[in-house]
Amino acid sequence: MSALLSAVLGAALACQEPVAAVNANSTYRALFEGGKNFASFLAAAQQRKQQWEGNFRDAAVPDALLTRARAAGGPWKFLVVAVDGCSDSVNTIPYLAKLVQQLMGVELQIIGSDTGRHVMESHRTPDGRAATPTVILLDGNYEERGCWIERPAELQEWMSKGSGSFDGKMKWYDEDKGQKTLSDIVSVMERAAKGERACAAAS
The tens digit of pLDDT for each residue in 146-162 reads 999 998 888 888 777 76
pLDDT at residue 203 greater than cutoff 70: no
pLDDT at residue 21 greater than cutoff 80: no
Please give the Cα distance from 29 to 144 (Å, whole number): 10
Q: How far is CA 98 from the centre of its chain?
A: 13
pLDDT at residue 19 greater than cutoff 80: no
DSSP one-letter code for 75: -
> Is 84 within 8 Å of 52 (Cβ atoms)?
yes
The tens digit of pLDDT for each residue in 78-118 reads 999 999 999 999 999 999 999 999 999 999 999 999 999 99
Q: Count the helices and strands in the chain (H runs, E runs).
A: 11, 5
Looking at residue 25, what is its pLDDT?
Answer: 35
Bridge pairing between strands 106-111 and 144-149: unpaired
> Is 172 within 8 Å of 128 (Cβ atoms)?
no
Q: How far apart are the first and last CA of the chain?
A: 34
Q: One-letter amino acid identity for 118?
A: H
Looking at residue 8, what is its pLDDT?
Answer: 39
pLDDT at residue 201 greater than cutoff 70: no
Looking at residue 154, what is its pLDDT?
Answer: 85
Please give the Cα distance from 96 to 115 (Å, whole number): 21
Bridge pairing between strands 144-149 and 198-200: parallel
Looking at residue 38, what is its pLDDT?
Answer: 96
Question: With bands split at pLDDT 50, 70 and 90, how would you rate the model's confidence at 128?
Answer: confident
